[in-house]
Structure 1
Amino acid sequence: MGGYSLNILVTLDQNYFPQLQVMLTSLKMNNPGEQFSLYLLHNHLPEPMLEAVDKWCGQAGYGFFPVQMDEELFRSAPASSRYPVEMYYRLLAAWMLPEDLDRMIYLDPDTLVINPLRPLWETNMTGWLFGAAAHTGKTEFANDMNRLRLRVEHDYYNSGVLLMDLKLGRQEILPEKIFQHVEEHRMELVLPDQDLLNALYGERIFPLDDALWNYDARNYNNYLMRSSGKCNVKWVMENTGILHFCGKAKPWKPGYIYRFGMLYQHYMQLAMRDWGQEG
C-alpha cells in the first residue's frame, strides 16, 4: 500500500480511544524512521475521533485506513451484551481488510510499544495462521486451567497481540464456522474472542516469546523468576517490544499497583502533547 512498510490493525469502540492515542504515541516514539499503515476496524466510531486519527497519522507520515464493519458479514453472528459483535473483528480481519494485504500486526489498545516492531513483522511464520504468545507464568496454573476448559493440548494464547497471515486466513477462516462455535459453546466462553482463537485455531498458531512481544505487565516477578533474574526492568526496557496491560486493573485508572504503571502514565502525558491536548 503506497510506500508504507508495516501494517498495524486496531479494533475498538469510543471508550478506548484515549488508550489508542497512548499506544500510537508509543509506537511512533519507539519506531523512528519506520513507516506504518494503520487499519482501524470499527462500528460507527464518531467522526471527530476518525478525523483526529487521520490528522495524527498525516503528521506522523503514516497511512490511515478506517474500515467500517460490514454488517452483512455479521448478520447471522450470535451477539449480545456479553458477546458484542466486535469480538469477531480480529478473527475475521482477513475478510474485512483489502485483499491485497498479506500480513498484519494486531495490537490491543491497552498496549505500549517500547521498542521497534520490525523484528516481529519479519518473523518467519510460513504456514501458520497467526503468531501469538501464551502467558504461561511460573506455575502455568492458568494456562493449564484454560487448556482443560477448552479441551485443547496447546498453550492458551493471548489475543491482544497477533501477527496475522491474511492470505492464509482467507483460505482457512470461515465466518460461519466461528458463528456456529459461539452458538454451540455459549456457556463455555469466558473470554469470548480469546477462547475462540484458541478453540478453533490454536493448532495453527506460531508461538511468540511473550517476554518480547506480549509482556503481561502484571507479572514482573514471574518473568524475573523464570528467567533466573535476567528479565529485570533494564532488560525489559532494552528488549521487550510490547507491554500489555492485561486484566481488569488498568494503569489509567486509580489504584494501579503494578510495576509499569508509572511508565504508562509517562506515555499518557506524551500522548497529550502529541495529540495537541495539553492545557
Structure 2
Amino acid sequence: PQLSGYRDYLLNEPHLQAALSLKECISNPDAALTRGILEPLASLKRVGKLENLNCVILVDALCEAEYHRPDHGDTITTFLAKHMVNFPSWLKVVATVRTQLQEITKQLPYTRINLDNNSNENIQKDILGYVNFRLQNSPSIQTNITSTTSGKSESGSVTQHKFSQHLLNLSQGSFLFVKLTLDLLERGHLVAKSSGYKVLPVTLAQIYSLHFNLRFPTVRSFEKVTHILSVCLSALYPLTLLEIYYSVNALLVDNFLPWQEFFQRFKLLSGFLVKRL
C-alpha cells in the first residue's frame, strides 16, 4: 500500500482510531477529518515517512447527498469546501457530479472536466483503449463478436476494429455502459455475431433489465428478493446483514421469514449487492 506509513501510525495511536470510528465520523466529522486524516498525513510527510508522491481522494456522486440534504449541518459538498484550505497541495480531491446538478459545486475551487462531450478526443481514446484491452485479454469476447459476411469470416483485427468503433458510438462516453456490455459478452450472455451488432443493448436500463431477467426469469423468483432490494435501496447508509434481516421482517405483517430462508434469498442477489466485511 502507498500509505503504509499512515497505516502504521494509526495502529500505534489508539486515540486516532477512535477519532475515525463510524460513531465519531457521524457525530464530529470535522474533527475526524482534521485530526484523523489531514494532520497525521501532514506530520508524516514532514518527517519523510510518506513517499514523495501525490495522493488522491475520490468522492463519487456529490449530488447524491443533495437528495438527503439535512436540516442543519453540512452536505459532502459544503464539508469539502469548508476544509479545502487545510488540504496539502499533494493531496488532491477528485469528485464527480451529475451535469444537471453541477450548480452545487460552485463553491469548490476545483478544475472542472466535462465528460458529457462525446466528441472529446481523450474520452474516445480512453474508451477505445479499454475496449481493446478487454478484447485482447478475453478469448470468449473475441469468439462472441466474430461475424461473417456472405458466408466468409472476417479477420480478427477487422472484426475487433468494427466492434470497438460500434461500442464506442453506443457508449456515448459512458465507461459503465462499456464495462457491463463487455462483461455480458465475456460470460456468454450476449453473442454479437451479426455485422450490425443489433443484439447489443443501447442503454444502461436495457443492460440492468437483462441482468435481472437472467437472474430472475419469473415474477415469482423476483418476489423472493423484492423486500431485500426495497430495504437496501431506501437506506441512507450501508446496512449490516442483520439490519437488513430485521428490516425485511418488519415489512412482513402476516408471516415471519426465518434467518436461513432470508440468507438463501440474500445470496440470490450476489453480484447486485456487495456485502461489507
Asked whether the two chains share a fold, i.e. TM above 0.5, the reply is: no
Of Structure 1 and Structure 2, the greater strand share is in 1
Q: Provide the TM-score with structure 2 as the length reference.
A: 0.27
**Higher-helix-fraction structure:** 2
Larger Rg: 2
